[in-house]
Amino acid sequence: NAGVTQTPKFQVLKTGQSMTLQCAQDMNHEYMSWYRQDPGMGLRLIHYSVGAGITDQGEVPNGYNVSRSTTEDFPLRLLSAAPSQTSVYFCASRYTGAWRYEQYFGPGTRLTVT
Amino acid sequence: AQTVTQSQPEMSVQEAETVTLSCTYDTSESDYYLFWYKQPPSRQMILVIRQEAYKQQNATENRFSVNFQKAAKSFSLKISDSQLGDAAMYFCAYRNQLRGGSEKLVFGKGTKLTVNP
């Protein structure tokens, strides 16, 4: 298994540009989520999905959109990039068959908005 | 709202010594999970250890163990026989399950651990 994969690893955007961060997992996990990590802030939840066709907002959803058309993919869209969205973005997934299972994280995408 | 506090922004330990990282959390729930994640310079988030709130026995994973004090809402991580590869950011995280299969995973701000040779 490749686990959780994210592309790209690094990205630089200009203010106002849009882009999509890709996330895929091959473990057939129902639950997927996006986090952002800022210096001194830990990880904060942006959006999550409990299955294909179902998404919901997390702690910091403004400026981001998500969709979940398949179990495997959970892309994160930045509609109009702002410098405040400069961060490291992590995608994670989890098997929901038992409550004890932890989330598996992707390698992260470092995004800089100038 | 649930919060997780790591009061030590940085810690250092000598190789082969023992170090304890602190974590406290605030919740009104009775059923939840607690985790310690390790983040080396590669940025990858790696699960170190987990603890179910309903279990009184402290979790252990090789050189890593926790001291879980439910009444005090404390969840510290002890690393024994520290190795150079243990150097990383360590995040404490709290999770409880919500209705509809969703969950709330809250992270602390992290503790940077340096291991000195």
Each residue of A97-112: pLDDT tens digit?
766 678 899 999 999 9
Mean pLDDT, residues A38-45 = 87
* Interface contact flag, A45 B105, Cβ < 8 Å: yes
- Residue B36 at interface with chain A, using a CB cutoff of 8 Å: no
Q: What is the DSSP-derived secondary structure letter of residue A102?
A: P
* Interface contact flag, B102 A99, Cβ < 8 Å: no
Residue A50 has its nearest CB partner, among B52, B101, B108, at B101
b/e code A88-106 from CB counts within 10 Å (16+ = b): bbbbbbbebeeeeebbbbb
- Residue B25 at interface with chain A, using a CB cutoff of 8 Å: no
Mean pLDDT, residues B15-19 = 98
Residue B45 has its nearest CB partner, among A45, A94, A105, at A105
Nearest to B45 by CA among A90, A84, A62, A21: A90
Residue B101 pLDDT exceeds 80 = no
**Taking CB atoms and an 8 Å cutoff, what residues of chain A touch B4?**
42
Rounded mean pLDDT of chain B?
Answer: 93
Which residue did the predictor score with more confidence, A29 or B96?
A29
